[in-house]
Amino acid sequence: MNLETLRHSCAHILAAAVKGLYPSTKLGIGPAIADGFYYDFAREQAFTADDLGKIEQRMRQIIEADHKFEKATLTKSAASKLFKKLKQPFKLELLKDIPESQVTVYHSGKFVDLCRGPHLDSTGEVKFFKLFSVAGAYWRGNENNPMLQRIYGSAFFTKQELDDFIRLKEEAKRRDHRILGPRLGFFSFPEEAGPGLVLYHPKGALLRTLIEDYERREHLKRGYQLVWGPHILKSDIWKRSGHYAYYKKSMYFFKIEGMQYAIKPMNCPGQMLIYKSATRSWRDLPIRYFELGTVYRHERSGVLHGLLRARGFTQDDAHIFCLPEQLNAEIISVIDFVDQALKDFGFADYDVELSTRPSKYIGTDEDWHRATTALEEALAAKNLKHEINAGEGAFYGPKIDIKLKDALGRTWQCATIQCDFALPERFDLTYVGKDGKHYRPAMLHRVILGSLERFMGALIEHYAGALPLWLAPVQVVVIPITTEQNCFAEDVEKQLIQAQIRAQLDLRSESMQKRIRSAQLEKVPYMLIIGAREQAQNEVAVRTRSGGEQGTMKLEEFVQKVLKEVAEKS
């Protein structure tokens, strides 16, 4: 018995419980997934939290009854008659798409479901499970299909594993950037603006700027050149690149003076046009262009998820044009860049995947082999263990994906390195070789942090909103105990700002303890408390957001302490 079989069986029990409680419910599908299982249902009334409790209770009754999971093989005709009788239209639709002449169904007690299996021997083998939430999901992932209700749950072999998982989910909920971000004044997602579009408030815009400044500084240190392109390009460009054929459903189109344009979903065509604008010599290569490029993609409203999946976002996008013999060194350089950046932001670990040629692609098989080999050799040179994602490469080339791990061990898509010989061919990119002849450059598409929005979401959840000092929008709050210290506190704030420390003065009439608590809730790293004694001795009393008192010190000493911590990114 494995975990997937356990969870799939539990999904089957969930469906049986729902049908027992709400007989008119129509059934969708119920697979095991990475961290549990779900089942999709069509029901006029929305499932509530109370309903989930009732469904769990019914599931326990089914488990206690210890019904056998009995497999039966039927002809498609017999199965169709069965599910017509049961009034299950979604099962009938699934049957039509099964190419085999025979299908399997599973019985447990009075419940029957269309299913390949496998299942446990009986319902009684399920011991430890929990239902968590309900979400909307289009039938078969198509927004033109009915919206169903998806109930999520999980199951484990031991109570300890389930308890640990529940604690992890509760901790993840506490860290949810969609809750913390608005609460901390970083950003919001107003319905009036439209789904999947984020508005940055002052603190969030400052955090974003700090990340962007880091990006520009680090790219310039590594020999990248800054470029910038428009948000729209003529559709002809996207037809040439292949995005029109392979990515059209995710793009936004409009017309100007009878000519069709697209809002860019990618930054690569613009950067290739910049490369193409002049004659390039082999001596010029590698050329590394870097752009903080904002792109827009049509994501279904049902899959939007705060900053992690938005319709408008900015990528730290770069394209490297190089000689084929320079590929290995350039890929290794990007891997090293990613490693350093993740460490700078406090991420100690990551997973690596190599995605290979998909079923639909452009370019020659020979070029795909060259590109894949280049990525494999770089991974081998860095001794990086990696998983193979067969068939998951971009349509123009294979890729390395680097997924950071956060404080809870969750992975987030971050860097990507894509090796491409196809688009230089399509855009007729060339360089003049030593012999005076024209040759095609190799091209790397790469991001370091990826989508800034997604990275900010991961960053907020990793630190539960308590960002490290160098990234905190407000680094210090100055709190005078009484109004008699206001003038001295104002001077302290001014000196901090002059030292390029992000400081705010809290002169509200609230009590000192309330103002301290407010700063802690806003995750401000330091509070400087100023009373009559501190004023008399020209000192400040230092507190941290965790509640620790650091004692009193001269302001100059505190400034040096903060600047040192910022420089060390602590």
Domain ranges of the chain: 3-170, 183-230+265-462, 476-567
Q: Is 319 a residue of the active site?
A: yes
State the Cα–Cα distance between residues 547 and 527, nearest whole angstrom. 10
State the Cα–Cα distance between residues 49 and 475, nearest whole angstrom. 40
State the Cα–Cα distance between residues 235 and 265, nearest whole angstrom. 12
Q: Is 357 a residue of the active site?
A: no
Tell me which CATH code domain 183-230+265-462 carries. Answer: 3.30.930.10
Q: Render each residue's pLDDT in the chain as its tens digit; 570 residues.
A: 699 999 999 999 999 999 999 999 999 999 999 899 999 999 999 999 999 999 999 999 999 999 999 999 999 999 999 999 999 999 999 999 898 889 999 999 999 999 988 999 999 999 999 999 999 888 988 778 899 999 999 999 999 999 999 999 999 999 999 999 999 999 999 989 998 999 999 999 999 999 999 999 999 999 999 999 999 999 999 999 989 988 898 999 999 999 999 999 999 999 999 999 999 999 999 999 999 999 999 988 777 889 999 999 999 999 999 999 999 999 999 999 999 999 999 999 999 999 999 998 988 999 999 999 999 999 999 999 999 999 999 898 999 999 999 999 999 999 999 999 999 999 999 999 999 999 999 999 999 999 999 999 999 999 999 999 999 999 999 999 999 999 999 999 999 999 999 999 999 999 999 999 999 999 999 999 999 999 999 999 999 998 788 899 999 999 999 999 999 987
For residue 432, what are the β-bridge partners? 281, 438
CB 467, CB 207: distance < 8 Å: yes
Burial of 385 (0-12, 13-18, 19+ CB in 10 A): exposed
CATH superfamily of 476-567: Anticodon-binding domain (3.40.50.800)
Q: Is 107 a residue of the active site?
A: no
Q: Is 504 a residue of the active site?
A: no
Q: Is 268 a residue of the active site?
A: yes
Predicted pLDDT at 570:
74
Predicted pLDDT at 547:
79
State the Cα–Cα distance between residues 428 and 45, nearest whole angstrom. 58
Bridge-based pairing state of the strands 225-226 and 287-296: parallel
List helix spans (H) across 86-231.
89-96, 159-175, 177-183, 202-221
> Of residues 317, 367, 406, 506, which has the active-site annotation?
317
Helix (H) or strand (E) holding 395: none
> Of residues 319, 357, 403, 545, which has the active-site annotation?
319
Predicted pLDDT at 256:
94
- Classified by CATH at the fold level, domain 3-170 comes out as Threonyl-tRNA Synthetase; Chain A, domain 2 (3.30.980)
> Of residues 315, 326, 418, 475, which has the active-site annotation?
315
Q: Is 385 a residue of the active site?
A: no
Q: Is 315 a residue of the active site?
A: yes
> Of residues 10, 115, 268, 414, which has the active-site annotation?
268
Burial 217-250 (b: 16+ CB within 10 A, else e): ebbeeeebeebebeebbebebbebbbbbebbeee
State the Cα–Cα distance between residues 503 and 506, nearest whole angstrom. 10
Mapped to the 3 state alphabet, what secondary structure does 371-394 carry? HHHHHHHHHHHCCCCCEEECCCCE
Residue type, 535: Q
State the Cα–Cα distance between residues 441 and 19, nearest whole angstrom. 61
Predicted pLDDT at 132:
94
> Of residues 19, 58, 91, 297, which has the active-site annotation?
297
Bridge-based pairing state of the strands 147-156 and 36-42: antiparallel
Predicted pLDDT at 140:
87
DSSP state of 46: P
DSSP state of 138: E
> Of residues 399, 405, 446, 545, which has the active-site annotation?
399
Name the nearest CA neighbour of 427 among 273, 234, 196, 203.
Answer: 273
